[in-house]
Structure 1
Amino acid sequence: MLRHLKGLGFECREEVGRQLVREQRAIGGAALPDKDCAAFRDLLFDRSIDAFDQEPVRAGVPVFYDRSFLEALAYSEIIGVPVPKRMVVAAMQRRFAPLVFVCAPWREIFECDAERHHDFDFACRDYAANVSVYRAYGYTLVEVPQMCVEDRVQFVIQQIEKAGGC
């Protein structure tokens, strides 16, 4: 979806977690979901915050993020570690647009790849934890229907237009 949105001229940001996995593997680092989950979560949160802070906010211009620092908080629940207060404070100080688009795991298109090795059951737990955190932080979630990419993108654009933009 993000590639398609970017092709239409929208601002899109790559998932920080995938970047981290590539970097950690390249340097032989341990901050990986399959090695040191808490270190991965910490690095994911900090780098996601940095990415958010570096982006200039332009009124009315939507920016689509493939995941965010809030998902690092949700990951804490999955791995069973408490969320440090500094993360809660940092997340509360930063806001995305009120509408957050979520895509539920879809078995027919689910696949593992070089950066993501978890199974479909983990994807479902991850989705539920993320939905919970986004709601707890006051976002309005819009579930994107499971249909072809072009139709999903059109749905997202229509929802933004209905909401009056960002």
Structure 2
Amino acid sequence: MDKEIIVLIGGPSSGKTTLINALTNKGYICYPEVSREIIQKAQNDGIEQLFLEQPLLFSELLLEGRINQYKQAKKESSEIVFIDRGLPDVIAYMDFVGNSYPEAFHKACLENKYSRVFVLPPWEEIYVSDKERYESYEEAVLIHKHLEKTYNEYGYQLIEVPKDSIENRVTFLMNEITK
């Protein structure tokens, strides 16, 4: 079996982090979402929402972090690595806010391809906002649409993870991977 670098995508508060945590608890190699780290550092530096105040800078930092995650995932001894959000997410979010970005963003998405992409759909019943997640549920739905569009444009076939218990979501993933 070739190494599988699998990315989980979806709008804010669709259950990605909970799913990553469950996979980690089962012993899988998982990489967390890097944006929270960037957001928290900016907040510590006095910038409440770096993405809203300096979207290009935020996106450049995010792209760099996700490229580093991808490269590290390639070096893992495990045959399967899960990543919470991927490189095309950066472009989807920039498109969502209507900002332009350098060609290097597109190039990075083409050079660092994931094995599979699982998408977690918007789920209003579990939606929660917090200090790092400023989007409303309605905005989360729009972001989700941008994510699907962007990943489709890069040629990915998205596999939708059903809204279900975390155990059933993990089982669904593993069944899809072993098909």
TM-score (norm 1): 0.89
Q: List alignment gaps of at least 5 residues for structure 2.
A: 1-18
Per-residue CA deviations over 1:131-163 (Å, capped at 9, x if unaligned) read: 11111111111000001111011101100011x
Q: Which position in structure 2 is the counterpart of 1:161?
A: 178
Conservation of the 8 A alpha-carbon contact between 1:31 and 1:40? no
Q: Which has the higher contact order (CA 8 A, sep 6+)?
A: 2
Does residue 102 (structure 1) correspond to residue 124 (structure 2)? The answer is no
Give the alignment of 1:1-166 within 5 angstroms: 1-29=19-47, 32-57=50-75, 61-97=79-115, 99-162=116-179
Instruction: Please state whether the residue corresponding to 2:159 is helix, strand or coil.
Output: strand
Q: 2:7 — aligned with what?
A: none
Q: Distance in 1 between matches of 2:73 and 2:173?
A: 22
Equivalent residues of 1:144, 1:152 under 8 A apart: yes
Q: How many pairs align?
A: 161
What displacement does 1:59 show? 7.8
Given that residues 78 and 126 in structure 1 are in contact (C-alpha distance below 8 angstroms), is that contact kept between their aligned partners in structure 2?
A: yes
SS of structure 2 residue aligned to 1:145: coil
| 1:32–1:40 CA contact under 8 A, matched in 2 | yes
**Distance (whole Å) between structure 2 residues aligned to residue 82 and residue 37 of structure 1:** 10
**Amino acid aligned to 1:52:** Y
The amino acid of 2:43's aligned partner reads R
Which digits, 9 at most, give the CA deviation of each residue in 1:59-112, with x for residues without a partner? 871211111121001111111112321111121111111x21000110000000
State how far apart, in whole Å, the 2-side matches of 1:141 and 1:28 are. 38
| Structure 1: distance between partners of 2:153 and 2:78 | 25
State TM-score, norm by structure 2.
0.83
Distance in 1 (alpha carbons) for counterparts of 2:78 and 2:62: 27
* Residues 135 and 141, structure 1, Cα contact 8 Å, conserved in 2: yes
For structure 1, which runs of at least 5 residues remain unmatched after alignment? none
- Superposed CA RMSD in Å reads 1.7
Seq. identity, %:
29
Q: Which amino acid aligns with 1:92?
A: L
Equivalent AA in structure 2 for residue 140 of structure 1: Q
Instruction: Give the whole-Å Cα distance in 2 for the aligned partners of 1:84 and 1:116.
Output: 25
8 A contact 2:56–2:101 mirrored in 1 = no
